Structure 1
Amino acid sequence: MDKLLTAVLDAHGGMENWAKLTRITAHMSLGGPFWAARGWPDVYLKQTVTADPHREHITIAPFTAPDRMSVMNVPERMAITTLDGQMIDERLNPRETFPTPFVQESTRWDAIQVAYFT
């Protein structure tokens, strides 16, 4: 294991504590002209982000509506579901769907693209 990683883990209770960790949760709000130019000026106001620290699984809720969330799974799967898990939209390999050329001031994204970029 890398020396820095070992030092960080040791400073926080060691590998045993890390193994017990099941979820990391953060509250966030993002805004500004970047999201507005994509067509989503208020998409990230008062979100809860939940991540599984042992695999790439991240949810952001609410997302686009009070009863929806975005779900990212390894390695290239994005979904928008209801809070109780019903599928609204899903895309494999969302990176391939971004428009080119990208024009900072005017390129619009759909909800899956916004979720993936975040």
Structure 2
Amino acid sequence: MHPLVQKIIDAHGGLERWKSFSTLTAHLKQGGALWMLKGQAGRLDDTNVTVGLTSEWASHHPFGPEGHVSHFTPGLVQLKDAAGNVVEELSDPRSSFAGHTLETPWSVAQLAYFAGVAMWTYLNMPFLLAAPGVKVEDIGPWQEKGETWTRLKVTFPADVATHSTVQTIYVDANGLLKRHDYDVEIAGNTPGAHYIDGYTDVQGIKIPALRRIFPRQPDGQAMAEPLVVSVDLSAIRLF
């Protein structure tokens, strides 16, 4: 394992401890401009999220005012009613975003795909750095907020559904995540700067509970507004 990856993972509780769990659940509150822009305002403002830790899947419940439950995997998205009946599904969901820009509206199933990709990636980071096929490269220091952060370029294999193949994480001197950059491929490669805070200890794993995402400029600096997405987590549990 890359020495910096080892430091980062150890700072978050260690790989052995992480591998003793298979599922993470949390209460989720979200805000920001993205949801209205995509024609899905309010649908996931206050919900619960569950993600897999040993394979790529995620679920939100309730998914909208109908009380549906979403189930995301890279190859299939389903929405089910309270009785478990499939009310909507989308096969090969990534291909449905072809030609999309930031302003292109999403269907409910496409929202479920985005939300699944996002929360699975966020809640499995930084332990994803040790996953098979993931490549990392130390790309040097970064000055921000009066601190010096170390940057790590992360390249994901083709079988991982995430925002973009190449991403960048920033960590402080203790190895804790401070920022996470990516280009949202399914929204016209829109560049984002994702700030991470509010660490809490959950059963021996350090998990950030607060996330704020802003547009990223070509020089790597984040714009002060608009707030694209806010993520607030509570009642986090590992199983």
**TM-score, reference length from structure 2:** 0.42
Matched, 1:79 2:78: yes
Residues 4, 85 of structure 1: alpha-carbon distance in 2 compared, 3 angstrom cutoff:
farther
Cα distance, 1:57 vs structure 2:
1.2
Stretch of structure 1 that moved more, 91-100 or 43-52? 91-100
Counterpart of 2:37, as a letter, is: A
Is residue 23–residue 53 contact of structure 1 (8 Å, CA) maintained in 2? yes
Q: Specify which structure has the higher proportion of helix.
A: 1
Residue correspondence of structure 1 range 1-118 to structure 2 within 5 A: 1-11=1-11, 14-73=14-73, 75-98=74-97, 100=99, 102=101, 104=103, 107-118=104-115
Task: Please identify which structure carries the higher strand content.
Answer: 2
The answer to which structure, 1 or 2, has the higher relative contact order (CA under 8 A, 6+ apart) is: 2
RMSD, matched Cα = 2.4
Change in CA separation of 1:101 and 1:67 when aligned onto 2, cut-off 3 Å: closer
> Any stretches of 5+ residues in structure 1 without a counterpart?
none
- State the aligned residue count: 115
TM-score (normalizing by structure 1):
0.77
Q: Distance in 2 between matches of 1:102 and 1:110?
A: 14
Q: 1:8 to 1:32 in 2, by over 3 A?
A: closer
Q: Distance in 1 between matches of 2:102 and 2:83?
A: 36
Q: Which amino acid aligns with 2:7?
A: A
